[in-house]
Each structure stands twice: as C-alpha cells, then as structure tokens.
Structure 1
C-alpha cells in the first residue's frame, strides 16, 4: 500500500494542463476503481471512464430471446451463467422477458458458474438435449475451448455469444469522437492473448496505454504510467501486470483457434463490429445450437436488438456518458428491477456505481447525451 500511496502522491503532483480522460476496458477494473474510491482519491482533472468490458451488457438481445424460446418451446435444459438469467429482452411486459421468467414459466433453466457444469448437466440427462448459452470474452471462451477439446456429450450444444474485447476499442478509436485520451487495458485478457494485442492503441492512434491487474495498486500504477506518457508527449504500451507475458497463454490461444472462427458480431445497442465474435468451427456443427435448432434463429429480431426504450446502456458501454447520466438510472432502473443489462451484471457499470452508493441520476448531463424522453 505504501507504493500505491507514493504513486497517488506522484499523480497529484503531475502538472496537468487540463482534463485527461482515461478509459478502463474491463468491468473488473471498474469494480475495483469504484469500490476502492479511486475517483475521489485522484485529482478532479483525471476522469476515469468505464468502457465496453461487460459481456452481459453487450450480449445480443436476439441471442437471449433465442435462449428463452428454446427453454420454453423445446424440451431442452438451458444452462447459462447466473448473470444472464435476469437480462430483459424487448418484448411486452406481459410476455416472458428473461431466462429467470422462463424458468418461472416452466422452462428448465439452470444457472451455472463454470462451463464444465454444462457438461455435467448433459451427462446427468443423457436423454434430453442440453443447450449451454456461452456468453463471455476471451477469458471465458478459453475454458470453453478446453471443455470442447476434452469431448462434449452428444446431447450438449452451444449457443455461442462470445466476443473479443479489442475490436470494440478499435471501433471507438476509429470513430470521429473517441471520448478518451488514454487506455487502461484488461490484465486477464492480456494474460490469455498477450499484452501486445493492445499495441495498436499507441502505435496507430497515439494514445498512452497500460495493462493493469485488478488491485487498486495495479490500476494506480497504470494510471500514473499513462499520465506520465501524456505529459512526456509519448505513447507506448506499458505492462503493469506481471501475470501478462508476451505471447499470452499459447496453449489456450491454440485451443481457441482450433475451436472457433472469428466473425463479425452484433453488440447489443451498438451494432455489428467486424472480427469481434466467436463462432464454432464447421467440424463442431453437431454441437452448434444454431444449427441444431435453426428455427429459433429469428433474423427478424435483429431490428429488435437495441436497448430498451429510454435505456442509455449502450452509451455507458461506449464511454459516452457515465452511469448516473442515463435517463432511467435509479428510477425505474435499479438492480432489483433492471431495465437495461448494465444494471444486471456485477461487471455492468451501472450496477457497480449503484453498489458503490451512487443512487440518483446526475443533475448535469454531458453535452452529447440525448435528451430525456417526454
């Protein structure tokens, strides 16, 4: 902690000439920042902005709808990570709007904590189809690839909603108004894929970048690094997380390459991002839920995949506004009655800010924020 105190003192002593916006990609980073009170410990000119690091928040609405319909209309056991069960889809309130409600309506929906739980459930029910809704970023898809290579039961299929993190950051940087001046890159993704995956940020966009772990000390070190780079007029990738080594986890990366193709993919409320999605390789087609249950891939729902009316979760995910600037933050959207996905997951920025004690909408909104609905 003494090192962190010294680094905080060094940050406070920096001769900043104006506001510096630092985006943290990872929901785990945002949780540490909020729970440790780092925003209040830093000078006001340093603005820490949560980014697109919540897989639950950006999971396509149509994928969740498909999982709901499979649970209700087919005799399947639907397994999904616990956070996904409460994410609402865009249907009338009188209809089943979440996997939790599908379970209450008689669907067999099982919350799981590990991909191997899905394998166990399939083996316990050899006479029934089991569908695992596989949601997550690289660090979740790595264990799923290992599970696949260990051998899947014949009755287990995967509804894959996996995403890569870096293409969303690239999309933001290629937009007209990126909204941040430096980047704190996710340590766990860098451990798997290699920290060099983030070199495009300083090399192609000239933004200081640092990889951080999940302790306050690591995030403070990364913050000091990018601020120092900015003051010195340089932009490099600084690895402040010793567990992330060049090349990443080569065994896990090879398994990902053997099991998945990289394809364009929908991010909820954002649209399609090239090269950002995982799809099962053709040799695994027998375990692809989209192929096994083709009637539930409803292309007409792609226009329904936006955030719910009034919900600004997509703008929160993109770092355009902070959680309390959402039009429905705190009323009606709360963790008990979530309207948007950012208020559901422990990695969702709105849920994190609420849990840290911020319970009301901001009185002031950013200039680029949309007006509240009439």
Structure 2
C-alpha cells in the first residue's frame, strides 16, 4: 500500500494547497470543472475543496455514464426484460436508476423479469453461452473506458455465430460532451450554462483515447485541460497546473497522469472500437439534451448482435422528475445541496435521480462523504 499512500499524504496535500493559494491571483476567480465522477468522489472524500483558496471554485461535471443515461434508454432496457422476456445483463449501478412510472430494472426484476447483475461484458457473453435456449441482452453503458470490452464480446459472439446474444448499446463519448459545455458557456449560446475557465480531464477515459483527443476543442475555445489521476494529490497537482496555465494566458492540454496516459492512448483498443462501432448522428444525454456525434452504435456488419434492431426498440424521450435537479447538476449549474429533495426525499436508499444512484454521481458523493453537512453548518453559522 506504500505506493498508494504516497498519493494521499496529508503534509504534501497541505503543501500543494498552499502552493495553489500562492499562485491564485486575488483579483480574479478560477472556475474549474472536474468532468469525471471519479474526481468528484475524490474531491468530496478527501476534502480537497477545503484546501483551496476562496476564489477557486470546483464545479461538478456530467462525467458519470449512469448519470447521463436518459430515462428513455432505461425504459427500453426494462421493455427488453419485461416484454421480450430476455435475460438482461447489466452493471450494478444501472439496476436502481429511476425510469418512467416509478420503475427501475430492480423493480422489474421483482416483478419477475430475468435481470442479472454482471461485472463485465465477458460475464454477459458467458451468460449467453450458459443459456443457449434463452435470448441474452447486455445493457452496455459507459464512456470510452468500457467500450473496448463491449466491442471484444461482439466480435467473439460473431466468431462463435451465437444466435442468442445481443447488445443494447449506450456507449457515449467524452470530448463531444466537454465541447458542448464550452459551446453552451460561450456568449450568445441558447441554453443556460455555467461559465468555465478550465477542465480537469478524466483519467481512465484518457488511457484509451489519449491526451490528443482534447486538443481540438482546447484550441477552439481557449480553455485548458489537465488530465489527472484519481488520487487526491493527482487532483491537487492538476489544479495547480491549471491555475498556472490560466495565469500565463495559456490554453493547452497537459498530462498530470503520465504514469498511465499517453498522447496517442491505447491504439489497440481504439482499433477494436472502430471495427465494431460507428458514430450515431445524435444521442440524448440526461441534463445536456441531444448532442451530435456523441455516442456509438453497432456497425451494420455486426447488426445481428444489435438489440435495438433485433427487438425493434423505438426510443421515446422522457422528461426527468420535476423535483430532481440532476440535469442542472450535470451541467454544473447547480450543486447537490441546491436540490430541495437532496438528503430528504432523495437518498441512496430511495433515489429520485441518477446522480444519487451511481457510485460516481455527484449527489451520491456529497451524501456519502457528508459534504452537505459541512455546507449546512457553514450556512447556519
């Protein structure tokens, strides 16, 4: 554990906090969005915000694939399980995401649907091999990190000529979402958006796509990105690097997470994804709306393994629960404590929105690590 402990050292964290405070210019503000939910949890868990100067604000982004999955896609998964009678394999975080009519995959299972939690795409393929008389559908979600394993099982199913395995593909892409947030914050944009100065770039995603994937929109919008690991010292070093860039008037992609991320990324993973998937023209994100070229679909040569085609699924957009502020939180417009039902009607045991369900959701982070209690104490003082 010594290697991990070195990235969680308290004195070093305080020293970094002091360095950030010295670097931050008192006459300006710094608005930095951590896109990835893993960073949100690190910030809440280790109290990183408490070590930062008052004029530096960390803004939670939409970087949780469960959180950004719209209700209509969850409804389709429930349709597969209840109406088509398939074995639906899904990651654990998906099971309790609220859908229409107060339903969820977990409640569908309680009604008799064969919904099974899996830890990997390979588990779903094995389920199909073990149940040759049943149709098995893998409810595939995630950013670029989980997309290559899905591509691999589709290729394997094709080589095996499996007749009972398909994938309900909901893989989405990180750079288009960041570009959308930057475009929305530009003068004259149609949708309300939080003003942003810089991004902490995601870690695991970047191991696949590489740092070069962020260069086009950094050049276009002149907003720096620093890719960071998930440990607290990683995050704090990335914040210091961003402050230094902003002070110097630079807008570049920098890589703090050099022990795992390269400029080109994982070329083998990129090739398998390009072989199996292609861009969708548009895809709905919870909180962000329909974004062009922001998600993947299965290529025609692998259409036999596309659950949307095999079962004739028709997507129907569904409005979020009006009491839930998840959409605004995903855009960075609000924080979990701004939601009236946070910690009362909406808890991890009884979630009204996806941000409270996922292990990477902003509301779950604030609730799990008690950050909302700190804010309540400050406001009452």
Structure 2 length-normalised TM: 0.89
CA contact (8 A) 2:125 2:157 kept: no
What does 1:1-374 correspond to in 2, within 5 Å? 1=9, 3-14=12-23, 15-91=25-101, 93=102, 97-152=103-158, 153-175=162-184, 176=189, 177-242=193-258, 243-263=260-280, 264-294=282-312, 296-297=313-314, 299=315, 301-302=316-317, 304=318, 306-359=319-372
TM-superposition CA deviations, 1:82-140 (whole Å, max 9, x none): 0100001122x4xxx00000000000000111111101111110001001110111101
CA contact (8 A) 1:21 1:180 kept: yes
Aligned to 2:6: none
Deviation at 1:200, TM superposition (A): 2.9
Q: Tell me how many residue pairs correspond in the alignment.
A: 355
Q: Does 147-156 or 333-342 show the bigger shift?
A: 147-156
TM-superposition CA deviations, 1:158-210 (whole Å, max 9, x none): 11111001111111111134421111111211110011111234311111221
RMSD: 1.8
Deviation at 1:74, TM superposition (A): 2.0
Q: Structure 2: where are the runs of 5+ without partners?
A: 1-8, 377-381
Deviation at 1:268, TM superposition (A): 2.0
Partners of 1:99 and 1:173 lie apart in 2 by 34
Partners of 2:151 and 2:79 lie apart in 1 by 26
Structure 1 length-normalised TM: 0.91
Q: Structure 1: where are the runs of 5+ without partners?
A: 364-374
SS at match of 1:183: strand
SS at match of 1:49: strand
Partners of 1:200 and 1:362 lie apart in 2 by 37
Name the CA shift for 1:132/1:185 in 2 (closer, same or farther; >3 Å). same
Partners of 1:329 and 1:75 lie apart in 2 by 35
Partners of 2:20 and 2:31 lie apart in 1 by 14
Q: Does 214-223 or 5-14 show the bigger shift?
A: 5-14
